[in-house]
């Protein structure tokens, strides 16, 4: 597909596929033990970075399901014209790969796996990415309609669905970059 013929949704799904491919390429053959190795006590392992992405992204799925079923209720602040754009831009800036500041995540988005090396986190991530891509496709009409949603962590944090998907992708790129840094540290 040529880029100019691809819809925004197709481009986003392609980005999800590229992220998945990168994860498999960089981490798919390094062994379970290294995936769960932390370079220090204040850093996440590669597996924890991937688990965090699965956990955070999955928290949007209930919102997506409610949009599809027509049961989603927008927060009152979503009706304040400029508010969703300002909040969305702030979050986008915070999750960007270019942002070098460490950002503390909400407790519900902390990685759930600790040192359980029996979990095939690469396969779990790959399966999750396919599910995420399906949801993005299903949300296409809502994106086109300019639907405003709230963060799964806080109903007062609102932004457009379009920006939510962009945030998810940027956030994934940030954590894959972090995971690559972890790999370099533990191999050094």
Helices (H), ranges, 78-120: 83-95
Each domain of the chain, given as residue ranges in start order, spans 3-187
The first and second tokens of residue 124, run together, are 């779990």
Q: What is the pLDDT of residue 82?
A: 87
The pLDDT profile of the chain, 188 residues, written as one tens digit per residue, is: 555 688 999 999 999 999 999 999 999 999 888 999 999 988 999 999 999 999 999 999 999 999 999 999 998 888 888 889 989 989 989 898 887 777 788 778 888 776 666 679 999 999 999 999 999 999 999 999 999 999 999 999 999 999 999 999 999 999 999 999 999 998 86
* pLDDT at residue number 167: 97
Q: What is the per-residue pLDDT for 133? A: 98
Question: How high is the pLDDT of residue 79?
Answer: 84
CATH architecture of 3-187: Up-down Bundle (1.20)
């Amino acid at each position: 597909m040529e880029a100019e013929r691809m819809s925004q949704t197709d481009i986003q799904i392609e980005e999800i596929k590229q992220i998945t491919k990168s994860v498999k390429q960089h981490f798919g053959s390094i062994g379970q033990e290294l995936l769960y190795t932390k370079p220090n006590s204040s850093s996440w392992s590669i597996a924890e970075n991937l688990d965090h992405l699965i956990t955070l992204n999955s928290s949007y799925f209930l919102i997506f399901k409610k949009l599809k079923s027509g049961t989603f209720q927008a927060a009152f602040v979503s009706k304040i014209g400029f508010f969703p754009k300002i909040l969305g831009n702030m979050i986008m800036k915070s999750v960007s790969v270019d942002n070098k500041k460490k950002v503390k995540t909400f407790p519900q988005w902390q990685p759930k796996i600790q040192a359980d090396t029996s979990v095939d986190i690469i396969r779990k991530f790959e399966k999750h990415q396919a599910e995420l891509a399906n949801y993005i496709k299903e949300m296409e009409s809502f994106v086109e309609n300019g639907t405003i949603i709230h963060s799964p962590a806080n109903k007062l944090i609102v932004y457009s669905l379009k920006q939510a998907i962009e945030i998810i992708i940027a956030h994934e790129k940030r954590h894959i970059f972090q995971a690559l840094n972890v790999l370099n540290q533990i191999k050094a």
